[in-house]
C-alpha cells in the first residue's frame, strides 16, 4: 500500500511541505495516480525519513507509579460517587420531612386568619337584617 503525501507526513512526523519538497528535489521518488495525487512507496519514504514509533495510550509512560496513581484515582472516584449517592438520599429525606414540619411564621399566619374570620362573623352579626331596621336602625 502506497502513501499519499499526508500519510507519509504522519508516518514520518514531518510536514507535508517537507515531503513534497523532497519529491520535487528528487530525494524521494513518487508517482502520480489517476487523481493526480502523489503515491509514495513506504520503502522509498523510509529510506530517507525513518518511521516514527506510534505509542498506544496504554504503552505511553506506563510505570508502576502510574499504575498505583491510577488505582488511587479510581478508588477516589468510587468514594465520590458513594458520597454523592448519600447526599442525594439525605436531600430526599430532608424534603420529605419539610412537608410535615410547619413553615416559619405559619402559626402566626394561622392565628391572623382566625382573627380575620372572627371579625367578619362579628360584623355580620352586628348588621341589622331588615330594610326597616337598616333605614331606621
At 9-67, the pLDDT tens digits run 988 999 999 999 999 999 999 999 888 889 999 999 999 999 887 655 555 566 777 87
Distance CA 32, CA 30 (A): 7
Question: What's the whole-model pTM score?
Answer: 0.41
- The bridge status of strand 31-32 relative to strand 38-39 is antiparallel
What are the domain boundaries of the chain? 5-48, 61-101, 105-137
pLDDT at 17: 93
Distance CA 82, CA 90 (A): 12
Sign, CA torsion 65/71/75/77: positive
Sign, CA torsion 11/42/51/22: negative
What count of other Cβ atoms lies within 10 Å of the Cβ of residue 44?
A: 16
Report the phi/psi class of residue 36: left, alpha or beta, with left for phi > 0 and alpha for psi in -120 to 50: left
Amino acid at each position: 500500500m502506497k502513501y499519499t503525501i499526508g500519510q507519509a507526513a504522519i508516518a514520518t512526523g514531518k510536514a507535508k511541505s517537507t515531503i513534497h519538497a523532497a519529491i520535487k528535489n528528487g530525494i524521494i521518488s513518487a508517482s502520480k495516480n489517476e487523481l493526480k495525487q502523489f503515491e509514495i512507496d513506504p520503502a522509498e519514504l523510509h529510506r530517507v525519513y525513518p518511521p516514527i514509533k506510534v505509542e498506544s495510550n496504554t504503552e505511553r509512560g506506563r510505570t508502576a507509579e502510574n499504575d498505583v496513581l491510577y488505582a488511587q484515582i479510581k478508588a477516589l472516584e468510587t468514594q465520590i460517587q458513594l458520597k454523592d449517592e448519600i447526599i442525594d438520599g439525605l436531600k430526599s429525606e430532608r424534603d420529605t420531612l419539610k412537608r410535615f414540619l410547619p413553615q416559619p411564621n405559619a402559626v402566626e399566619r394561622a392565628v391572623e386568619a382566625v382573627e380575620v374570620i372572627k371579625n367578619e362573623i362579628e360584623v355580620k352579626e352586628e348588621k341589622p337584617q331588615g330594610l326597616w331596621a337598616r333605614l331606621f336602625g
